[in-house]
Structure 1
Amino acid sequence: MSESVRIDCMKCRHFYVTWDPQFPKGCKAFGFKSLQMPSLTVLSSSGKPCLNFEPKSRPLA
C-alpha cells in the first residue's frame, strides 16, 4: 500500500466515536482515542499507513 493513499477511518470497522470531548475519535484495533482521525495518528507516529484497516460489513437488505 502506498503511503500517499489516505485511509478513511469512517469506513473502518475499528473506528468509533467516543464520549470524550478532548479525544472524540477512537480505534479499537490499536486501543487509543485521539483528537484527529486515528489513521493520521498512526501515520504520524509510525511513518506508515494504518495496516489494521478493515472495511465495515454492509448490512443485508
Structure 2
Amino acid sequence: MLDKKRIDCFTCRHFYITWDRDFRKGCRAMGFKCNEMPSIVVYQNSGVECLRYEPKLPRKQK
C-alpha cells in the first residue's frame, strides 16, 4: 500500500472531524468525507500521495 511514509492527516490544515456518523473524517481541500484517513483514500483512488497536504500553522501562545 503506502511504501514510504504516510501523510498524517492530523497534521494537515485541511483535515477536520465531521459530525456525520457515517463519515467521521474530512478534507476541506479535496471536498470529501470518509471513514478512513483522507490521504489513504486519495492514494487508493489515484495511486499518488495527497498533493494538497499543508502543515497546520502553529497556534498562537496566549
The residue type equivalent to 2:15 in the other structure is F
| Runs of 4+ that moved beyond 3 A | none
1:19 aligns with 2:15: no
TM-score (norm 2): 0.90
Q: Distance in 2 between matches of 1:60 and 1:17?
A: 21
RMSD: 0.9
Q: Distance in 1 between matches of 2:43 and 2:9?
A: 12
1:51 match: secondary structure: coil
What's the offset of the Cα at 1:60? 2.4
Q: Which residue of 1 aligns with 2:48?
A: 48
Q: Which residue of 2 aligns with 1:39?
A: 39
Q: Distance in 1 between matches of 2:49 and 2:27?
A: 14
Q: Which residue of 2 aligns with 1:8?
A: 8
TM-score (norm 1): 0.91
Q: Distance in 2 between matches of 1:58 and 1:42?
A: 25
What's the offset of the Cα at 1:4? 1.4
State, as a whole percentage, how many aligned pairs show the same letter: 53
